[in-house]
Structure 1
């Protein structure tokens, strides 16, 4: 699943996004594309769980198709 996170602007933001994802699924694979402000998550957990965790962490995410 891929999300666009408009306010992910620096490496610190990327670390916070990764931590939020790993709080939902510690074994998730997380790929950050900082210049495009996108995150790709490989996990068996539901998409909504990641959207909620990212939003709670201050990084509201838009689903990319």
Structure 2
């Protein structure tokens, strides 16, 4: 299956039988990010978390615990 990264528009191939391919076929809301973009976002997010000025907002299910 050919997929396109939503950030850098790089076109890659993934196996048709993988879980990611199934998610992309069955649920169009899911998007694909290449490994380079995924790593870059992960590194920058971790750097922002380490500064202490980053607050992660969780889903509504955690509001019951307040």
If the length of structure 1 is used for normalisation, what is the TM-score?
0.29
More contact order relative to length (CA 8 Å, sep ≥ 6): 1
Larger Rg: 2
**Going by fraction, where is strand more abundant, 1 or 2?**
1
Q: Normalized per residue, which structure has more helix? A: 2
